[in-house]
Amino acid sequence: MVMVKDGPNPLLAATAGQSWDHHPTPAEKLFDTTAAGDSFNAGFLAALMTGADPADALRQGATLARHVIDARGALAAQYAAAPAPYPVTS
C-alpha cells in the first residue's frame, strides 16, 4: 500500500488493485503541528490492524492528526487514554 499526504490536498492510498481518497475536515485551530504525521500514521495503522478498511483508516488517521494539531504539544489530552478506534468525524 502506498499513501500520500500532501498538505491541504486529499489523502490518497492505493494498492495494486484499488485506491481510496479522503478529504479531511480542516483543523479548527492550528496550534502546533508537532507529531501530526506520527499521529496520522498511528491512527491509520491502528484502524487497519483492528479491521477497518483503508478508507476508514484514512479517516481515523486524519481525525487523530486534526485533534493533535488543535492543541499545544504532541499529545491531545482528551485522547491520551482513549482506546482505538478514535471517534471519527468527517
Catalytically active residues, by annotation = 38
Q: Is 67 exposed, middle or buried (0-12, 13-18, 19+ CB in 10 A)?
A: buried
**From CA 36, how far away is CA 69, in angstroms rounded?**
6
Whether the CB-CB separation of 79 and 39 falls below 8 Å is answered with no
